[in-house]
């Protein structure tokens, strides 16, 4: 056989050990491919080498390099540590933070090939996604997040010192329970100061113009109990209905101290910061995986990494994008890496080498050439739900052998309602997309009414879709947390989204401790 031994000096590195020079060399080579050949656009990179223990640390504080103190992080650390020590679970090779500079953690145990892979995956793949996806652009402030966390950490430590651990913990516990109800799903209109001032001035002018002294002489109605405002007026005044429960409590809860409101605000901000990540799991991982695959293949093609290194890479790559089938013991849902990576490849394929079917399904995309540009476009403009709805091709559905199952609790059997055939494609795609739609996945809970002049009972409503109610014991526990913050009775009504019929009610009485939460 005519094995051509590449010139050793073309290799970026040799062997498994890594050092800083090698990392620097590899980084430059990867950067060249990523920016020049793939046209990626990234935040400046900062790579930090950490130990396994520090990786566990980072895990427990939801991946952030600094985080305030709370027992729940200690709990996660205790569990992760045990899993890791007992060998039930390995550690991630990297963690990457959506900040500018973009911080990627790499573990000291990794081999040089793994470090190369991690740099390609995190420092370029995720980094590009963070910088370019519209969701992240719209919702997160990459420059400010670390400073904000620093502020949050100091502020909470300060509160603990001043008001006691227990008091702070109660607020944080409650806030954590409401974290997924602490997100603004639609961006607020950004009101700038100038418009605000102008509006204020106009209002004043209007009042001046319409001033009539005679109004003063009109006899007032006898002072008595003010007529109760109509329900709709009341709701309007409080900005109800409101689905951001944390926001509502922060702004409107009558009994909270200033610092307690600030704690709610901190948790809400952090929750908001992670909101785009929750919506882009498939795309984010798909993007990073696609990028590292392209870069590693390119490094291999150009003879910059050895055959051995490439095989090692392929080994870990394939285990990352492995998708067990539904009847496999290892199956635990669709693997976002697998789906994401497959879809990215598929998009590039459709753009470059479409079949007739593709031309029919994706008239704009098929055959336009330059797969990389098509993929970059998708990364910038979609989230998981819309991405799947837009790009999942029949070809891929057949490849993954997707089928949809309907589980109706009333029936003794599960029903296969669509499979990967001509009749099923569109439905499967729609259903899969919905499986990634946070608005659909998370229960729709809103604050609908409160009578601040009356008994101050807070009323929440869960609009039930498909007859799936809330988990009762957890719902009760969360309501108790809300009652702690609100200070008065809280009621949750589950109504059917279709018939408006009341399906179930939960209520929690006012906490007995008056005054302090």
Partner 1 sequence: MNIIDRRLNPQGKSLANRQRFLRRAKEQVVKAVRDASGKRGIQDIENGEKVTIAAGGVREPSFHRASQGGVRDYVVPGNKEYVEGDTIQRPDGGGGGRGSEGSADGEGEDEFRFVLSRDEFLDIFLEDLELPDLVKQKVKQSESHTLTRAGYSVSGSPANLNLVRTMRNSLSRRIALKRPKRDEIRELEEMLREAEEAGEDATQIQALREQLEHIVLRSRRIPFIDPIDVRYNRFESVPKPIAQAVMFCLMDVSGSMTEHMKDLAKRFFMLLYLFLRRRYRSVDIVFIRHTHEAKEVDEETFFYSTETGGTVVSTALEEMQKVVQERYPDSEWNIYAAQASDGDNMSSDNAKSATLLRDVILPMCQYFAYIEVAAEHNMGLSALGRETELWRTYKQVQSPERPLAMRRVRSRREIFPVFRELFAREKAGA
Between the alpha carbon of residue 489 and those of residues 452, 485, 494, the distances in Å are: 12, 11, 17
Q: Which is nearer to partner 1, 297 or 323 (CB)?
A: 323
Nearest distance from C-beta of residue 413 to partner 1, angstroms: 4
Nearest distance from C-beta of residue 379 to partner 1, angstroms: 22
The token duo for 462 is 């869960």
Q: Which is nearer to partner 1, 128 or 481 (CB)?
A: 481
C-alpha radius of gyration, the chain, whole number: 28
Residue 360 has phi, psi (to 5 degrees) of -75, -40
Smallest CA-to-CA distance from 377 within 361, 364, 396, 358 is with 364
Nearest distance from C-beta of residue 308 to partner 1, angstroms: 24
Output the CA angle 22-24-28, nearest 5 degrees.
Answer: 115
Distance CA 65, CA 12 (A): 30
Output the CA angle 35-298-377, nearest 5 degrees.
Answer: 45
Nearest distance from C-beta of residue 506 to partner 1, angstroms: 11
Distance CA 90, CA 123 (A): 21
Q: 3-state class of 492 per DSSP?
A: strand
Tally Cβ neighbours within 10 Å of residue 413: 8
Nearest distance from C-beta of residue 304 to partner 1, angstroms: 18
Output the CA angle 512-514-517, nearest 5 degrees.
Answer: 95
CB-based contacts of 202, cutoff 8 Å, min separation 6: none
Q: Which is nearer to partner 1, 142 or 177 (CB)?
A: 177
Q: Which is nearer to partner 1, 8 or 333 (CB)?
A: 333
Nearest distance from C-beta of residue 307 to partner 1, angstroms: 27
Q: Which is nearer to partner 1, 173 or 357 (CB)?
A: 173
Residue 480 · residue 494 · CB < 8 Å:
no
Q: Which is nearer to partner 1, 69 or 261 (CB)?
A: 69
Peptide bond into 101 cis (omega under 30): yes
Nearest distance from C-beta of residue 347 to partner 1, angstroms: 19
Q: Which is nearer to partner 1, 190 or 423 (CB)?
A: 423
Nearest distance from C-beta of residue 411 to partner 1, angstroms: 8
Smallest CA-to-CA distance from 133 within 237, 286, 258, 342 is with 286
CB-based contacts of 205, cutoff 8 Å, min separation 6: none
Q: Which is nearer to partner 1, 350 or 478 (CB)?
A: 478
Nearest distance from C-beta of residue 167 to partner 1, angstroms: 14
Q: Which is nearer to partner 1, 367 or 443 (CB)?
A: 443
Tally Cβ neighbours within 10 Å of residue 251: 15
**What dihedral angle (degrees, nearest 10) is formed by the CA atoms of 296, 298, 302, 305?**
0
Nearest distance from C-beta of residue 221 to partner 1, angstroms: 44
The token duo for 155 is 């502020």
Q: Which is nearer to partner 1, 57 or 451 (CB)?
A: 57
């Amino acid at each position: 056989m005519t094995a051509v031994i590449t010139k050793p000096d073309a290799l970026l590195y040799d062997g498994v050990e890594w050092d800083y020079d090698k990392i620097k060399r590899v980084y430059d080579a990867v950067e060249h491919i990523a920016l020049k050949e793939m046209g990626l656009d990234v935040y400046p990179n900062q790579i930090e080498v950490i130990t396994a223990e520090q990786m566990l640390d980072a895990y427990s504080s939801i991946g952030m390099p600094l985080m305030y103190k709370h027992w729940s992080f200690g709990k996660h650390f205790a569990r992760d540590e045990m899993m890791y020590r007992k060998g039930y679970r390995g550690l991630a090779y990297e963690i990457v933070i959506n900040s500018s500079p973009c911080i990627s953690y790499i573990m000291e145990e990794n081999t040089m090939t793994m470090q190369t892979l991690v740099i390609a995956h995190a420092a370029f793949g995720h980094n590009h996604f963070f910088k370019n996806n519209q969701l992240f652009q719209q919702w997160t402030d990459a420059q400010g997040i670390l400073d904000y966390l620093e502020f949050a950490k100091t502020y909470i430590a300060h509160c603990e010192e001043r008001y006691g651990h227990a008091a702070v913990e109660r607020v944080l516990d409650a806030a954590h329970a409401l974290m997924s109800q602490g997100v603004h799903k639609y961006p607020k209109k950004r009101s700038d100061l100038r418009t605000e001032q102008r509006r204020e001035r106009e209002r004043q002018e209007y009042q001046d113009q319409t001033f009539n002294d005679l109004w003063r002489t009109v006899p007032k109605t006898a002072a008595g109990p003010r007529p109760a405002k109509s329900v709709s007026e009341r709701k309007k005044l409080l900005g109800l209905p409101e689905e951001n429960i944390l926001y509502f409590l922060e702004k409107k809860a009558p009994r909270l101290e200033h610092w307690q409101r600030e704690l709610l605000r901190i948790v809400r901000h952090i929750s908001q910061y992670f909101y785009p990540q929750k919506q882009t799991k498939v795309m984010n991982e798909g993007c990073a995986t696609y990028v590292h695959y392209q870069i590693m293949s390119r490094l291999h093609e150009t003879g910059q990494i050895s055959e051995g290194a490439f095989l090692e890479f392929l080994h870990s790559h394939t285990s990352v994008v492995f998708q067990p089938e539904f009847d496999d013991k290892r199956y635990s849902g669709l693997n976002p890496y697998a789906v994401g990576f497959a879809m990215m490849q598929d998009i590039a394929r459709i753009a470059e080498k479409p079949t007739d079917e593709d031309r029919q399904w994706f008239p704009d995309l098929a055959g336009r050439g330059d797969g990389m540009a098509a993929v970059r476009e998708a990364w910038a403009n979609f989230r998981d739900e819309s991405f799947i709805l837009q790009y999942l091709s029949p070809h891929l559905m057949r490849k993954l052998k997707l089928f949809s199952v309907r589980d109706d609790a009333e029936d003794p059997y599960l029903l296969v309602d669509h499979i990967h055939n001509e009749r099923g494609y569109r439905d499967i795609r729609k259903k899969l997309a919905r499986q990634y739609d946070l608005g659909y996945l998370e229960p729709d809970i809103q604050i609908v009414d409160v009578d601040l002049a009356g008994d101050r009972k807070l009323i929440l409503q869960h609009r039930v879709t498909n007859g799936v109610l809330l988990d009762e014991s957890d719902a009760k526990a969360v309501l108790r947390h809300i009652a702690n913050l609100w200070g008065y009775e809280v009621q949750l009504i589950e109504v059917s989204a279709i018939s408006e019929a009341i399906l179930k009610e939960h209520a929690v009485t006012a906490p007995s401790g008056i005054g302090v939460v």
